[in-house]
């Protein structure tokens, strides 16, 4: 049934740029040194994979809080690598499949990648691939074992591969032994006040005198929630203000911004 599942999957060569672009629906703005540092180090790994003879497989984990920009970062590395084969493996395309079918899908992507001289595979939101839930905890050991083997199995001679994983449950990955299966690992952080300020300046939706206060309130916010929050606030108290805000005609009222901050889950 696993083997059948394996065969039913359509071959899928080549890079899937569309899927990658969807990972950064709000674009990539400069959001601080720490994000930049990770990008640079990861691009060095891309370089290493390109030229390496001795280490045909390099594996790299991006871990950090929910919404901190891991998927967007991984997608960007994939796009900027210019490798012939770049593929993202995500739970979004496997809703409702059995463990076995998910495994088959994952294995298929690796098998395809092995045919390319240079390849990047992004394992996005590994805890979701593993169907992880903290109660129990429960997760798919079938998929977990498959990943652990794939993260160590060398591609055929002459083929080099980079695997990038993302997760917001580094502790869980640690406890099942998947974290140690990666060779290198980077922590993608939430924004500090100064990072948030940089982003707000680029967005230009606050009155100059409010930017500092707003940035202060955004300390420790993940970049993804920052975008959601600004969009809410831009509506204004009565709705309908967004166009004026984004066109620069109006500014977000700071008190309304504070109100919206309350509604955001878990901040």
Ligand X SMILES: Nc1ncnc2c1ncn2[C@@H]1O[C@H](COP(=O)(O)OP(=O)(O)OP(=O)(O)O)[C@@H](O)[C@H]1O
The residues binding ligand X (CB under 6 A) are 23-29, 31, 35, 66-73, 125, 166, 168, 223-224, 227
Q: How many binding residues for its own copies (CB under 8 A)? A: 73
For residue 228, state whether it binds its own copies (rule: CB under 8 A).
Answer: yes
The distance of Cα 82 from the centroid of its chain, to the nearest Å, equals: 18
Task: Give least dist CB 207 to its own copies, A.
Answer: 21
For residue 199, state whether it binds its own copies (rule: CB under 8 A).
Answer: no
Span near Mg ion by CB under 5 A; candidates 66-74, 80-88, 173-181, 202-210: 66-74
Tokens representing 147 are: 């990943």
The binder of 72, among its own copies, ligand X, Mg ion, none, by C-beta within 5 to 8 A per type, is ligand X
Pairing of strands 184-187, 118-123: unpaired
The binder of 214, among ligand X, its own copies, Mg ion, none, by C-beta within 5 to 8 A per type, is none
For residue 182, state whether it binds its own copies (rule: CB under 8 A).
Answer: yes
Q: Which residue among 103, 163, 211, 226 contacts its own copies (CB under 8 A)?
A: 103
For residue 54, state whether it binds its own copies (rule: CB under 8 A).
Answer: yes
Task: Give least dist CB 76 to ligand X, A.
Answer: 7
Collapse the DSSP code of 96 into the 3-class scheme (helix H, G, I; strand E, B; otherwise coil) and give the result.
coil
Decide: 150 and 110 in contact? Cβ < 8 Å: yes
Task: Give least dist CB 178 to its own copies, A.
Answer: 9
Pairing of strands 85-89, 57-63: unpaired
Task: Give least dist CB 82 to its own copies, A.
Answer: 14
CA dist 34 and 190 (Å) reads: 10
Residue closer to its own copies, measured from CB, 58 or 214: 58
Decide: 147 and 178 in contact? Cβ < 8 Å: yes
Task: Give least dist CB 85 to its own copies, A.
Answer: 20
CA dist 63 and 172 (Å) reads: 11
Residue closer to ligand X, measured from CB, 69 or 78: 69
The binder of 225, among Mg ion, its own copies, ligand X, none, by C-beta within 5 to 8 A per type, is its own copies
Decide: 9 and 101 in contact? Cβ < 8 Å: no
Span near its own copies by CB under 8 A; candidates 72-80, 172-180, 190-198, 247-255: 172-180
CB atoms within 10 A of CB 63: 22
- What is the rounded (10 degree) CA torsion for 144, 223, 80, 74? 0
Q: Which residue among 17, 55, 204, 244 contacts its own copies (CB under 8 A)?
A: 55
What are the φ and ψ backbone dihedral angles of 121, each rounded to 5 degrees?
Answer: -120, 125
Closest CA to 196 of 226, 225, 224, 228: 226
Interface ranges with Mg ion (CB under 5 A): 71
């Amino acid at each position: 049934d696993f083997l059948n599942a394996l065969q039913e999957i359509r071959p899928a060569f080549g890079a899937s740029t569309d899927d990658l672009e969807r990972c950064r629906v709000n674009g990539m703005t400069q959001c601080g040194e720490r994000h930049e540092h990770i990008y640079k180090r990861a691009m060095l790994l891309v370089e290493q994979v390109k030229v390496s003879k001795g280490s045909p497989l390099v594996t790299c984990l991006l871990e950090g809080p929910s919404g901190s920009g891991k998927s967007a970062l991984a997608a960007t590395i994939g796009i900027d690598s210019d490798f012939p084969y770049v593929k993202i493996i995500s739970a979004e395309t496997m809703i409702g499949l059995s463990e076995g079918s998910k495994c088959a899908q994952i294995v298929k992507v690796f098998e395809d990648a092995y045919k390319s001289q240079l390849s990047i595979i992004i394992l996005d939101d590994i805890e979701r691939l593993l169907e992880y839930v903290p109660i129990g905890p429960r997760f798919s050991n079938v998929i977990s074992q498959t990943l652990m083997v794939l993260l160590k199995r060398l591609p055929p001679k002459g083929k080099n591969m980079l695997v990038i994983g993302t997760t917001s449950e580094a502790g869980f990955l640690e406890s099942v032994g998947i974290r140690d299966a990666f060779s290198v690992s980077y922590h993608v952080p939430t924004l500090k006040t100064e990072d948030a300020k940089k982003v707000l300046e680029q967005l230009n939706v606050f009155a100059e005198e409010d930017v500092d206060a707003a940035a202060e309130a955004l300390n420790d916010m993940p970049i993804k929630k920052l975008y959601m929050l600004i969009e809410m606030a831009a509506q204004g108290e009565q709705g309908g203000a967004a166009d004026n805000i984004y066109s620069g005609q109006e500014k977000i009222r700071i008190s309304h911004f504070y109100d919206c901050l309350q509604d955001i889950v878990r901040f």
